[in-house]
Copies of this chain bind each other. A is one copy, B any other.
Amino acid sequence: MSNTKVLPLLEADGQGVVPCCPPLTERPMTADEAETAARMFKALGDPVRLRLFSAVASHEGGEACVCDISDVGVSQPTVSHHLKKLKEAGLLTSERRGTWVYYRVEPSVLAAMGRLLVGAQAAA
């Protein structure tokens, strides 16, 4: 049960995903919408997680082995802990391939968060 989890900000709709919420500027968010969206912002609200996320996102092919990105100044268990958080927030997925575990970003989530901030734009 690693990647089977539902992505908080998005909801599967058969073959794709749809954003959870309208742009912040469109109308006041409801409590539920805020709850959902805040989970993602919160996940990126830690410097270490942000670096990890950026490292994965900017890595070749949008995926990276833990061993490639764990140089962020905290202990290995802490890295693991943060990666888990990012996964739970729906920002990353992980897959084990042999010895190493690879994390990759969910591109549509990035686009959805972007839309949340700046409104409708070319994305996804």
Q: Which residues of A contact B (CB under 8 A)?
A: 24-31, 34-35, 37-39, 41-51, 53-55, 57-59, 62, 69, 72-73, 105, 110-111, 113-114, 117-118, 121-123
Contacts and interface: CB of A to CB of B under 8 A. Distances in A.
B117 A110 contact: yes
Contacts of A29: 50-51, 54-55
A24 B54 contact: yes
A37 B29 CA distance: 23
B118 A58 contact: no
Nearest to A117: B114
Nearest to A118: B114
Contacts of A34: 47-48, 50-51, 54
Nearest to A124: B118
A101 to B, nearest CB: 18
Nearest 8 interchain pairs by C-beta = A42-B45, A114-B118, A41-B44, A45-B45, A29-B54, A41-B45, A34-B47, A28-B55
